[in-house]
C-alpha cells in the first residue's frame, strides 16, 4: 500500500511536469488504426467496444487494446495486453515490452477509455505517440484532443457521439 502511494506520487509529479509543457498537436489524417486504453476495474466489456468500433467502419484488425489492472491474482491467467503499477519504473518508463510497444505505436486515434483519473492511465495516455487522442470530459482537459461527456459504462453512447463528431471533423 505504501509503495503504491510512493509510485503514484512520483507519477503525479512526472505528469504535472510533463503536462505543463505538453501541447497536443492534431493530425488531419483519416483514422485507420485505433488504440484503446482501458481501465479494467471500471469497464470489462472490451469486446462490445471493439464490435461497436468495427460496426462504424474501423477494421477489427486495426484495433489494439491495452488494459490497466490494479492487481492480478496469483492464479489468474490473462490473455490480453495489460499492465499494472509494477510494470512502470520509478522514472515512469514502461518495463513490459508489449506495453512499451503499444505506447510507442503511432495510432491514428487513441481512445482513453477511463473516466476516473489514475496516474498509470494518465501517464500512458500522455506518453502515447497517437496522433489524435479521445477521452472522457472528467479527465484532465489537457490530455486529449477531443472529450466526450458521458460515463464509461455507456459505451454505445460514447461510440455514437465519437463517430458523430469524427464525421464532422472529416476524420473518417
Domain that holds residue 95: 2-24+31-168
Domain count of the chain? 1
Alpha helices by DSSP H, 80-168: 97-104, 119-127, 155-168
**Which pLDDT band holds residue 29 (cuts at 50, 70, 90)?**
confident
Instruction: Please answer whether residues 15 and 122 qualify as being in contact, where contact means their C-beta atoms are separated by less than 8 angstroms.
Output: yes
d(CA 41, CA 71): 10
Q: Are 147 and 125 in contact (CB under 8 A)?
A: no
CATH number of the domain within which 147 lies: 3.40.50
Residue 14 in grid coordinates: 512526472
Contact 146, 111 (CB under 8 A): no
Share of the chain above pLDDT 90, in %: 10
Cβ neighbours for 23, distance < 8 A, ≥ 6 positions apart: none
pLDDT band, very low/low/confident/very high, at 110 (cuts 50, 70, 90): very high
Lowest mean pLDDT of 15-19, 47-51, 124-128, 141-145, name the range.
Answer: 15-19
Q: In this model, does residue 14 exceed pLDDT 90?
A: no
More confident residue, 161 or 26: 161
Angle, helices 97-104/119-127, rounded to nearest 10 degrees: 50
Amino acid at each position: 500500500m505504501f509503495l503504491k502511494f510512493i509510485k503514484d506520487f512520483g507519477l503525479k509529479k512526472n505528469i504535472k511536469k510533463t503536462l505543463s509543457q505538453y501541447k497536443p498537436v492534431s493530425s488531419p489524417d483519416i483514422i485507420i488504426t485505433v488504440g484503446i486504453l482501458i481501465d479494467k476495474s471500471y469497464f470489462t466489456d472490451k469486446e462490445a467496444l471493439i464490435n461497436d468500433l468495427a460496426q462504424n467502419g474501423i477494421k477489427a484488425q486495426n484495433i489494439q487494446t491495452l488494459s490497466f489492472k490494479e492487481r492480478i491474482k496469483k492464479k489468474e491467467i490473462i490473455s490480453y495486453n495489460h499492465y499494472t503499477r509494477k510494470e512502470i519504473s520509478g522514472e515512469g518508463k514502461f518495463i513490459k515490452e508489449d506495453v512499451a510497444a503499444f505506447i510507442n505505436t503511432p495510432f491514428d486515434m487513441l481512445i482513453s477509455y477511463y473516466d476516473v483519473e489514475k496516474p498509470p492511465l494518465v501517464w500512458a495516455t500522455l506518453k502515447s505517440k497517437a496522433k489524435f487522442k479521445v477521452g472522457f470530459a472528467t479527465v484532465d482537459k489537457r490530455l486529449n484532443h477531443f472529450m466526450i461527456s458521458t460515463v464509461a459504462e455507456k459505451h454505445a453512447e460514447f461510440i455514437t457521439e465519437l463517430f458523430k463528431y469524427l464525421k464532422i471533423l472529416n476524420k473518417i
